[in-house]
C-alpha cells in the first residue's frame, strides 16, 4: 500500500510554515499544501502570510519589493497592504473590487510560524500543537525539504524499531527493536509509550549524557502524533538502577506537505536537564543532524521505490507486525480527518452564479 495513495492532504489544520528566525524583512516564498505563500514581517515585527500570486497577472509576490508593510509587485507595480488589499495601481486611478490577495491566518509560537491553509473561520489557535518544552534554550534544530510523502515521515517517527538499523552508529540500542510500544488513540492524537530496561548505552547518548559507552541504560519513550502535522517524542534515559539521575529530552518534529509530493520537515531536540553546556549542545547538534540526514536518505529511497512499484506491472503488497500498531492508527486518524473535511466542505459554486 503506497502512502501517497492513502493519505490525502488535510487543509483545515495548523501547519508549521517556517521558523521564526527564517521570516523577517525579506520576502520568503514557500509552497505549502499545494499553495504558494509569501511570508514576511511588518516593520512592527508582525508575521504575515499572503498568497504568493499577484491579483493582476499572478506574478510571484515573493519576487517583488517589500515597501514598508506593503508588497509592490515586481511586474506592473500593483501594491498590496499586509491585509492583502490592493492599495495602489500605477496605471489605473480605479482599483477593481476583486484586486486583493488572500491572507492566511498565521500565529507565532515556540519559535515557529503556524499557518492555517483551510477555511479561515475554523482557524482556532488553541489547536496549534502545544510544545512548551520548546521554549527552553538548550535545543538544536534541523530542516530538510524531504522528497517523500509526509505519511512516510510520520510512520518513521512512530516506529523506532528502525533506529538500530538506520542509526546504528549513533543512537541504536537493541531494545529499541524489541520492546513493542503500547499505542492508542485519543481523538486526533495517537499516543504510544514504552520503557526499555538494561539496554546498552549508544555513542550519541554516551557523549551527550556522559554515561559510559555500552553500560546498561534504561530508556523511557512517549510518542505523540498530533494529527496531522506534529510528532512529539518525550524521552528520558538513565543509568540502569540509578533512576534518580534522569536525563530528560524531547524530539519534536513538524511535517508540512508542500502539495507536490514532498514534505517540509523541521525537527528540534531539546535537552531538558540542568546545566547543559555549549560543547554538549554542539555534540547534540552534530548527532541530531547526522541522524535526521540518515532518515531523509532512507525515506527518499522508500518513496522512490513506492513510486516505481505503483507504476510497475508486478503486483506487490506489504505486511504489518505488532510494532506497526501506532503507524496504522495514524493512518486511521488522518483518513477520519480527511473524511470530516470532505463532509464539511462548502458546496462548490455553480458556473451560472
Ligand atoms: S502581475 Fe503584478 S502588477 Fe501585474
Ligand atoms: Fe530515524
Which DSSP string do the residues of 96-142 spell out, in sequence order?
A: PTT-B--B--EEEETTEEEE--S-GGG--GGGSPP-GGGGSSSEEEE
Q: Whose CA is nearest to atom 4 of ligand 1?
A: 76
Averaged pLDDT for residues 63-88: 98
91 with 145, same domain: the answer is no
250 with 190, same domain: the answer is yes
Probe residue for ligand 1, chosen from 72, 76, 90, 99 as the CB with the greatest number of ligand atoms within 8 Å: 76
| Rg from Cα positions in the chain | 23
The pLDDT confidence band at residue 348, using thresholds 50, 70 and 90, is: low
pLDDT at 342: 87
Q: Is 347 a domain residue?
A: no
Average pLDDT, the chain: 93
Averaged pLDDT for residues 118-125: 96
Domain count, the chain: 2
pLDDT at 174: 82
Atom of ligand 1 nearest to the CA of 61: 2
Of the three residues 126, 148, 175, the one that is the final residue of a domain is: 126
pLDDT tens digit sequence for 205-230: 999 999 999 999 999 999 999 999 99
pLDDT tens digit sequence for 227-264: 999 999 999 999 999 999 999 999 999 999 999 999 99
269 with 291, same domain: the answer is yes
Residues with CB under 5 A from ligand 2 (ion): 295
Evaluate if residue 3 carries a pLDDT over 60: no
pLDDT at 172: 78
pLDDT at 8: 73
**Is the C-beta atom of 86 inside 6 A of ligand 1?**
no
Evaluate if residue 5 carries a pLDDT over 80: no
Ligand 2 centre and the CA of 153: distance in Å? 9
The gap from C-alpha 16 to its chain's centroid, in whole angstroms, comes to 6
Of the three residues 98, 126, 154, the one that is the final residue of a domain is: 126
42 with 57, same domain: the answer is yes
Amino acid at each position: 500500500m503506497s502512502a501517497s495513495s492513502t493519505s490525502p492532504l488535510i487543509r483545515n489544520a495548523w501547519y508549521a510554515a517556517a521558523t521564526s528566525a527564517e521570516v523577517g524583512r525579506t520576502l520568503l516564498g514557500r509552497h505549502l499544501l499545494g499553495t504558494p505563500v509569501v511570508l514576511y514581517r511588518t516593520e512592527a515585527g508582525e508575521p504575515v502570510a499572503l498568497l504568493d500570486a499577484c491579483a493582476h497577472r499572478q506574478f510571484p509576490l515573493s519576487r517583488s519589493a517589500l515597501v514598508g508593510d506593503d508588497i509592490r509587485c515586481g511586474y506592473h507595480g500593483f501594491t498590496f497592504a499586509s491585509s492583502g488589499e490592493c492599495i495602489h495601481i500605477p496605471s489605473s486611478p480605479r482599483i477593481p473590487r476583486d484586486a486583493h490577495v488572500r491572507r492566511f491566518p498565521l500565529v507565532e509560537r515556540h519559535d515557529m510560524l503556524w499557518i492555517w491553509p483551510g477555511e479561515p473561520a475554523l482557524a482556532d489557535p488553541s489547536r496549534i500543537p502545544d510544545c512548551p518544552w520548546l521554549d527552553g534554550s538548550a535545543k538544536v534544530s534541523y530542516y530538510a525539504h524531504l522528497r517523500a510523502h509526509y505519511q512516510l515521515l510520520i510512520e518513521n517517527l512512530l516506529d523506532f524499531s528502525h533506529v538500530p538499523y538506520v542509526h546504528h552508529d549513533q543512537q541504536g540500542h537493541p531494545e529499541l527493536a524489541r520492546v513493542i510500544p503500547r499505542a492508542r488513540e485519543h481523538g486526533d492524537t495517537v499516543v504510544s509509550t514504552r520503557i526499555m530496561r538494561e539496554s546498552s548505552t549508544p555513542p550519541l547518548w554516551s557523549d551527550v549524557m556522559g554515561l559510559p559507552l555500552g553500560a546498561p541504560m534504561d530508556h523511557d519513550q512517549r510518542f505523540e502524533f498530533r494529527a496531522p502535522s506534529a510528532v512529539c517524542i518525550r524521552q528520558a534515559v538513565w543509568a540502569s538502577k540509578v533512576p534518580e539521575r534522569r536525563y530528560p529530552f524531547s524530539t519534536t518534529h513538524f511535517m508540512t506537505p508542500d502539495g507536490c509530493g514532498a514534505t517540509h520537515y523541521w525537527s528540534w531536540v531539546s535537552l531538558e536537564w540542568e546545566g547543559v553546556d555549549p560543547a554538549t549542545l554542539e555534540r547534540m547538534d552534530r548527532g541530531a543532524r547526522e541522524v535526521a540526514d540518515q532518515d531523509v536518505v532512507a525515506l527518499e529511497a522508500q518513496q522512490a521505490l513506492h513510486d516505481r512499484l505503483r507504476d510497475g506491472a508486478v503486483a506487490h503488497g506489504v505486511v504489518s507486525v505488532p510494532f506497526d500498531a501506532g503507524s496504522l492508527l495514524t493512518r486511521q486518524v488522518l483518513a477520519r480527518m480527511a473524511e470530516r473535511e470532505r463532509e464539511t466542505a462548502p458546496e462548490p459554486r455553480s458556473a451560472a452564479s
